């Protein structure tokens, strides 16, 4: 991993990814973004993985992008190195083949809320708070806060968070549809693991394909989802096997429409 501030552990079919910078409320650095990308690599190649738990260490999930990391960047570096890289990595996390559960043990603000939005489920403890504070410091959300969050939670809510800087409590976030559950204090990891165990009992290929299709309905990776499903379908046909065999044997194929 690029940094010790992101940890990846496997527990049977569950991958656990922990933001481990509690002194800074797990504010994201460029190294942490790279480490999230590396974690995605490892998870995608772990064929036994059926679910991912994403959480933070300490009393906060993620306070967003660390201003100390991006505040001094030149405009072109901000575009090339910070926004585009974070966008690419968050997009990748959204499209991981197995469901992601965000166990929100504390505040998810700015980039932290954008990271929580990549998950399929968001579970939060009562003290957690949620917001998009970027316009208060002359910035705009850069990791799909004005795109994915609108697609998943609706434009009126994201306008309110982005334009006014209002911060929602866990109960308010639940009522607004921003999170899926509020769980008792100190129990979010247990609840997330129980949900992961429930998901892991389902047929893994069916769950992954269902995730791709639901993502496509939300505007996430539709082209790749449909092409990958179509590719898997034709790979099972006699005609595909005949086509490969004819190519290898340097002869004309004899397709039979099956």
Signed CA dihedral, 211, 214, 220, 225: sign only: positive
Q: Active site includes 218?
A: no
Which has the closest alpha carbon to 90: 67, 64, 71? 64
Half-sphere exposure of 200 (CA within 13 A, CB side): 19
User: Catalytic: which of 134, 185, 242, 249?
Assistant: 134
Phi and psi for 177 in degrees, rounded to 5? 85, 10
Q: Is 114 a catalytic residue?
A: yes
Given a contact cutoff of 8 angstroms between Cβ atoms, the answer to whether 96 and 221 are in contact is no
Task: Please state the φ and ψ torsions of residue 108, each to the nearest 5 degrees.
Answer: -130, 100
Contacts (Cβ under 8 Å, ≥6 apart) of 24: 63, 66
Q: Which contiguous run of DSSP H or E holds residue 85? A: helix 84-94
- Backbone φ and ψ of 184, nearest 5°: -60, 150
Catalytic residue among 57, 114, 125, 220: 114
97: exposed, middle or buried (Cβ count in 10 Å: 0-12, 13-18, 19+): middle
Residues marked as catalytic = 114, 134
């Amino acid at each position: 991993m690029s940094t010790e501030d992101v940890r990846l552990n496997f527990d049977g079919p569950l991958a656990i990814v922990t933001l481990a910078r509690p002194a800074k409320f797990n504010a994201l650095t460029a190294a942490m973004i790279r480490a999230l990308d590396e974690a995605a690599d490892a998870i995608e190649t772990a064929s036994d993985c059926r679910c991912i738990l994403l959480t933070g260490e300490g009393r906060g999930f993620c306070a967003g992008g660390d201003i100390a990391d991006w505040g001094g960047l030149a405009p072109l570096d901000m575009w090339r190195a910070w926004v585009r890289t974070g966008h690419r990595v968050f997009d990748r996390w959204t499209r991981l083949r197995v469901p992601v559960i965000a166990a929100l043990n504390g505040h998810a603000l700015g980039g932290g809320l954008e990271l929580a939005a990549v998950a399929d489920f968001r579970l939060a403890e009562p003290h957690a708070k949620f917001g998009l504070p970027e316009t208060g410091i002359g910035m705009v959300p850069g990791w799909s806060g004005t795109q994915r969050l609108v697609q998943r939670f609706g434009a009126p809510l994201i306008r309110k968070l982005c334009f006014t800087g209002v911060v929602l409590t866990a109960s308010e976030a639940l009522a607004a549809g921003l999170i899926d559950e509020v769980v008792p204090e100190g129990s979010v990891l247990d609840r997330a693991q129980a949900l992961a165990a429930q998901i892991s009992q389902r047929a893994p290929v069916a769950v992954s394909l269902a995730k791709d299709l639901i993502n496509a309905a939300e505007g996430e990776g539709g082209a790749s989802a449909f092409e990958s499903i179509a590719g898997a379908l034709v790979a099972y046909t006699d005609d595909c096997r005949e086509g490969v065999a004819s190519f290898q044997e340097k002869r004309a194929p004899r397709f039979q429409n099956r």
